[in-house]
Amino acid sequence: MYRLPDERRRMSALLQARGLSVAYGAAPPVLSHVDFTLSPGEIVTIVGPNGSGKSTLLRALLGMIPGVQGSVTRAAGLRVGYVPQKLHLDPNMPLPVSRFLRLERKLSRDEIATLLMRTGAQGLEARELSTLSGGQFQRVLLARALAGDPQLLVLDEPTQGLDQPGTAAFYRLIEEVRREIGCAVLSVSHDLHVVMSASDRVVCLNGHVCCEGTPSVVSNAPEYRALFGLGTGGALALYQHHHDHGMDHPDHPHDHETCTHDH
């Protein structure tokens, strides 16, 4: 049976939002009329200033909070590995890494060792979560997210509190993991510089989708510059080789690459 390319893309999408608006209580909506599609294997980064609704979009897409308008659809039986923004762990809870990885999941000792090895956190099984460094902690969170063999890895500001080398190393690790298991990666960041090098597509958010496209398109968009200032121009040179990334995916064109939204 013949299907239009656009329809085929929709059928195979992991996540899709149509006209999604989200509000907390009676307050004005945090997000309004957001359209969003995530295809298998795609790396998409949502960027935006504080309070722009990045985390809210992530939660709504995963069904953690309801929308007030529009629709969210997820592929049937979608396996999601979620890396939360941060944990407010009370130091009075004795929680070794191995027990944390086994939350709501049955894992053997070997499986735990393999997961920790894969994220560069080998040998931390018996350490208490509250005694880990920032970098080790993120690697353990990532290991837990990988435990269910996810089709989609979701990261909410994963490098908060990491220094620059730590951030770079963590993103390299995510790229590595993605190459290995071929999952899609959806992350949220307020730091476009580091994320850009790995992303197929960047969605710039400020209550609504300001602009969307390959990293180069977004970083040159006037909407993006209005939000983040002009200081990004020079740093982008580092990532020139990714500018034609869209060519690698002829079957899902970036239909939002021109930014027409008015501010």
Contacts with other proteins by CB under 8 A lie at 59, 62, 64, 80, 82, 84-85, 87-90, 92-96, 99-100, 103-104, 154, 156
Using DSSP, state whether 56 is helix, strand or coil: helix
For other proteins, the closer of residues 104 and 262 by Cβ is 104
Nearest distance, CB of residue 65 and other proteins, angstroms:
8
Q: How many angstroms separate the CA atoms of 233 and 105, rounded?
A: 45
> Residue 90 or 149: which CB sits closer to other proteins?
90
CB of 129 to other proteins, least distance (A): 9
- C-beta of 130 vs 220, nearer to other proteins: 130
Q: How far is the CB of 56 from other proteins (least distance, A)?
A: 12
| Alpha carbons 82 and 15: distance in angstroms, whole number | 14
Nearer to other proteins, 8 or 79 (CB): 79
Structure tokens given for 24: 């907390």
Nearest CA to 222 out of 206, 234, 210 is that of 210
CA angle, corner 131, sides to 144 and 134, nearest 5?
65
Any idea what DSSP says for residue 47? E
Contact present, 172 and 58 (Cβ < 8 Å)? no
Nearer to other proteins (CB atom), residue 89 or residue 117:
89
Tokens of residue 190, six digits: 């307020």
- Closest CB to other proteins among residues 116, 155: 155
Question: 43 to each of 37, 47, 70, 171, how far by Cα in Å?
Answer: 12, 13, 24, 12
Give least dist CB 152 to other proteins, A: 11
Distances 104 to 74, 86, 107 between C-alpha atoms, Å: 22, 19, 10
Taking the complex as a whole, how short is the minimal distance between the CB of residue 58 and other proteins, in angstroms? 10
Q: How far, in whole angstroms, is CA 178 from its chain's centroid?
A: 12
Asked whether the beta carbons of 53 and 188 are under 8 A apart, the reply is: no
Which CB atom, from 90 or from 251, has the smaller least distance to other proteins?
Answer: 90
Q: Which two tokens stand for residue 233?
A: 């121009």
Q: How far is CA 6 from the centre of its chain?
A: 23
- Shortest Å, Cβ 192 to other proteins: 23
